[in-house]
Amino acid sequence: MADDESLITPDMEASIGTEGDPVTISINPELVRRLVESLEEEDADVLAAIESDDPNAEIPAYALITAATRQRQLTVPDVPKRGLMAADEWRVEGAIHMGDTLTITPRIAEIQERIGGRVGHSLFVHHEWVYENQHGEVVARVRRTTAHFKDKHSGE
Amino acid sequence: MPLSFDSVHEGDDLPQAKRTPTTLRVMQFMGASWMWGQQFFDAETAEKMGLPAPIIPGVMKQAYLDQYLRKWLDGGGRISRLQLSHRRPDVHNVEMTIGGAVTRTYEEDGANKADLEIFIDNPAGERSVRGAATVVFD
């Protein structure tokens, strides 16, 4: 394959915008407490919220990390196996509380490629997960970009 | 005192902070998130992957930046966007420096907002994380 030949195949292009099956999770208070401890949280409001029985007490978006294993990445056809995590993004659109029930819908948001540059010919796959709460409100959009390289890459 | 929009200006540096994620804290984090990638705790796996030692999960560093920005806001606003680009691995038990700067202040949809650049540096002064954030003031 010539270096300037696109890595984006027709099947790959067709997968852009594909949504996967939604999964429903709950924000487990005990896991959030453990996460907060691991992060040595000092914010008095957060510490009060995680010990509170108040269902309206807001907790940080990082509480979503407790559901990370349910945030499944969709398979993108023809994507090179060699790859690494390049970027993460959280867009927080609503409040998150202990005990919330959230529905996570995965999506292949975008695929881009870069020809040339510091790391050579590379492909960037943007995965997105939309978190919707029990009231039907979108509370967060989490985006992860994985980078895939045509040639060996040092990870730098 | 809660940070106010009026006290924030383009070009302002945020006060830097230091964090040292110990092996114990990384293991606790992995237990709570159930993220058991071996590169996060096993030296042999890390070495096979070309890493200097077991590394800190990227989302743990993202949580550190969330904490850092909330501390800076001190209740004066909320984070609406947090974006990180992972440039280099960080390893256990090594101090990292977290910092940032205000790149833009503006009003949008009736809300006062600021865009920030944020970063994590390793002790060699190399940037391991480069990122951006948007905060919305109360």
Minimal Cα–Cα distance from A3 to chain B, Å?
24
Mean pLDDT rounded to a whole number for chain A: 90
Is the CB of A35 less than 8 angstroms away from the CB of B32? yes
Q: Which of A55-64, A77-86, A89-98 comes out lowest in average pLDDT?
A: A77-86
DSSP calls for chain A:
--TTS-S--HHHHHHTT-B---EEEE--HHHHHHHHHHTT---HHHHHHHH---TT-EE-GGGGGGGGGGSPPPPPTT--S-EEEEEEEEEE-S-EETT-EEEEEEEEEEEEEE-SSTT-SEEEEEEEEEEE-TTS-EEEEEEEEEEEESS-----
Chain B residues with CB-CB distance to A154 below 8 A: 50
B81 → closest Cβ in A34, A62, A89: A89
Cross-chain residue pair A91–B81, CB shorter than 8 Å: yes
pLDDT per residue as tens digits for the range A117-129: 666 788 999 999 9
Assembly ipTM: 0.95
Q: Do B25 and A38 touch (CB under 8 A)?
A: yes
pTM above 0.95? no
A68 in B contact zone (CB under 8 Å): yes
